[in-house]
Amino acid sequence: MHYLSQALITYSINVNCIGCTLCAQKCPVDAIAFTPHEKHIIDTEKCIKCDSCMQVCPEGAVVVEEVSNHEMQLCGIGGCGLNELINEIS
Ligand code: SF4
Ligand code: SF4
């Protein structure tokens, strides 16, 4: 995955999570708190988008989402043709 497009995605965990803790054990930067039997949560500030949690999850509960245009505009990088650039390189 290209560096720029990777910067515009975020990992999260959906309701399919059964709290098996595998992702928390695999995460190299402790971005997922170890909470057995509960829905796990990714700390996006810590996450380095290594994909390990998605690969290990038995429930397919880890999802990758694009940072929305709204969020991009909030940080001042939307509306400048960036989407078109991303589409070209991804
Ligand atoms: S993508 Fe990698 S760094 Fe991010 S939460 Fe998953 S295992 Fe941790
Ligand atoms: S590996 Fe999947 S099911 Fe297990 S705790 Fe993590 S997100 Fe939930």
* pLDDT higher than threshold 60 for residue 2: no
In which band, very low, low, confident or very high, does the pLDDT at 6 lie, cut at 50, 70 and 90?
Answer: confident
Residues 33-46 pLDDT 10s: 999 999 999 999 99
Q: Given ligand 1 and candidates 6, 46, 52, which is best to mutate, with the most ligand atoms within 8 Å of its CB? A: 52
Greater pLDDT, 60 or 75: 60
Q: Which domain holds residue 83?
A: 3-89
The closest of 18, 51, 50, 53 to 32, measured between CA atoms, is: 53
Enter the pTM of the model: 0.76
Contacts of 60 (CB under 8 A, 6+ apart): 16
Count structural domains, the chain: 1
Residue 43 carries which side chain, given as an amino acid letter? D
CATH code at position 41 = 3.30.70.20
pLDDT score, position 7:
82
Residue 30 CB–ligand 1 contact under 6 Å: no
Residue 31 CB–ligand 2 contact under 6 Å: no
